[in-house]
Structures are given as C-alpha cells and as structure tokens.
C-alpha cells in the first residue's frame, strides 16, 4: 500500500472523543429513566466545559469508574426533579400514590434514586464494552441529600482531565444536571468491526421455551405416528 493510500485511509478512520462518550452516557440516562416510567426526560444539545465536578443541592449522587479509561459521573437533582422521577418510577411499578414518600430527604427516595443511578452507569459501561471494545468497572453509587456544594475529586491521577456538564429536564420542567470528569481520551478505530450485541435475558428465556415447546410437539407427533403404526400391525 502506498503512502498516499495509507494517509487517505487514515483520514476515513473513525475517532471517538470525550463528547461522543458523553453522548453515550446521556443516552443511558434517558433510556434507563424511560424504562422507569419517565419517558420524556430530555437533555440539552449544548454541553458546558467546566473546571471541577461538584455535588450540589438538593440530591446528589456520584459513581467512580476505571479500566479502559478512568472517570467520575455525578448527577445533581433538584428536589422537584428527584420527587417527580421517584414518584413516576414507583407508580409505574404499581405503588399507590398514598404510600409514596413526600420529601426528597427520605431514605426511600435516596435508595430509589441510587438504584436508578446504578442502572444508568451499568447501561453506560455495557455500551462502552459493545461500541468501543473496551471495559470499565463502576463503583457503588453514593447518593446523599445536601444543602451546599461539595467538590468531588478522583483518587487517581487523570491524564489531562476534562469535565463536562449537561442539563436535563423532566416533562414538568424540573431540572437536573449530569457532570462527567474523565481522561482526555480518543478511541481510534484501526479497522472495521461488528459491535457485539447485548443478549437480552428475556429473549434468551423466550427462545429456550420456544425450542423446548417445539421439541415437545415433535416428540408427541412421533409418538402418535408410532402408536398408529403399531395398531395397524395388530389389524386394529
């Protein structure tokens, strides 16, 4: 291959930047919340460059991750956003409205929002594994109700750290913010590949049941045919 051909091919090489990784994380937020009864949560098309990541009032949660690249994810909910998401999630699971917590400082609200955060980052790490062919591990989410700003720093030295903030809004116009701090990273695609597909446990169970049912029907047909042949040999 000539030098010109190699240079031309390099220009067509796909490069994944911090902003595209951030977009993947935003998609994880909206899809997980949609599955939890909050199907119209949206994020701003504009992203802010920030110098530090902080937990902010009223309900903040953070998760550390490391592996292929290291970083920190923070989601800061206003009390209105936290309660709206919490209530819709619980009611989507059949919980009576009269039995729901009334304040964002309730342990139940913190536990539910922490579980949603865990699902969001879990979905994100899975997308990273499939789309970028690398692996990252997440820590257990830490959710806390706070009334003042608290700066969060990663315990490992990042190489040229970058921080971004994205604004999200709920259908009732409540606001919450997601902040991402990570290495300045570019993933450069060396050759074409087919992203691995995530196997849905429900689909696996359904396919297994269908195969077993088909096999059972085949056995019944074979048994019936054998019985008919046996009766014919007896002249019955």
Classify strands 48-50 and 161-169 as parallel, antiparallel or unpaired: antiparallel
**3-class SS letters over 143-180:** EEECCCCEECCCCCCCCCEEEEEEEEECCCCCEEEEEE
pLDDT confidence of residue 2: 47
Tokens of 23: 């977009």
Q: In the structure, what pLDDT confidence band is assigned to residue 118 with cuts at 50, 70 and 90?
A: very high
Q: pLDDT tens digits for 21-55?
A: 999 999 999 999 999 999 999 999 999 999 889 99
pLDDT, average across residues 89-101: 94
Taking 50 as the threshold, does the pLDDT of residue 205 lie above it? Answer: no
Q: Using CB atoms within 10 A of its CB, is residue 188 exposed (0-12), middle (13-18) or buried (19+)?
A: exposed
Residue with the larger pLDDT of the pair 73 and 211? 73
pLDDT of residue 15: 87
Euclidean distance between CA atoms 151 and 142, whole angstroms: 14
> Looking at residue 85, what is its pLDDT?
97
Q: Three-state SS for 55?
A: strand
Name the band, by pLDDT with cuts 50, 70 and 90, for residue 69: confident
In this prediction, residue 5 carries a pLDDT of: 47
Range 192-215 average pLDDT? 57
Q: Alpha helices, DSSP H only, in the chain?
A: 3-11, 18-35, 79-92, 107-132, 201-233
CB 127 within 8 A of CB 37: no
Q: Give the pairing of strands 59-67 and 54-55.
A: unpaired
The reported pLDDT for the residue numbered 148 is 86
Mean confidence (pLDDT) of the chain: 82
* Residue 152: pLDDT band with limits 50, 70, 90: confident
CB atoms within 10 A of CB 21: 23
Q: What is the pLDDT of residue 14?
A: 82
Give buried/exposed letters for 28-63 (b at 16+ CB in 10 A, else e): bbbbbbeebebeebebeeebeeeeebbbbbbbbbbb
pLDDT score of 150: 86
- Give the predicted TM-score (pTM) of the model: 0.76
Whether pLDDT at 3 is above 60: no
Whether the per-residue pLDDT at 236 is higher than 80: the answer is: no
Q: Rounded to whole angstroms, how far apart are CA atoms 117 and 29?
A: 8
Residue 11: pLDDT over 60: no
Confidence band (pLDDT; 50, 70, 90) for 228?
low
């Amino acid at each position: 291959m000539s030098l010109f051909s190699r240079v031309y091919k390099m220009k067509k090489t796909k490069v994944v930047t911090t902003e595209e990784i951030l977009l993947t994380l935003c998609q994880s937020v909206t899809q997980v919340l949609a599955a939890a009864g909050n199907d119209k949560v949206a994020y701003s098309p504009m992203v802010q460059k920030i110098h530090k990541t902080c937990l902010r009032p009223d309900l903040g949660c953070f998760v550390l991750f490391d592996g292929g690249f290291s970083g920190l994810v923070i989601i800061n909910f206003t009390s209105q956003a936290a309660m709206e998401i919490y209530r819709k999630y619980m009611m989507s699971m059949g919980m009576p409205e009269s039995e729901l917590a009334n304040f964002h400082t309730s342990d139940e609200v913190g536990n539910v929002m922490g579980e949603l955060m865990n699902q969001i980052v879990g979905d994100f790490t899975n997308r990273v594994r499939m789309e970028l062919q690398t692996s990252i591990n997440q820590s257990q989410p830490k959710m806390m109700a706070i009334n003042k700003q608290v700066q969060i720093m990663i315990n490992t030295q990042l190489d040229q750290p970058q921080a971004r903030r994205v604004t999200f809004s709920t259908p009732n116009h409540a606001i919450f913010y997601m902040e991402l701090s990570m290495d300045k990273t570019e993933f450069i695609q060396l050759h074409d590949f087919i992203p691995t597909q995530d196997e849905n446990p429900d689909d696996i169970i359904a396919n297994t049941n269908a195969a077993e049912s088909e096999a059972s029907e085949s056995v019944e047909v074979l048994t019936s045919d054998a019985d008919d042949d046996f009766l014919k040999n007896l002249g019955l």
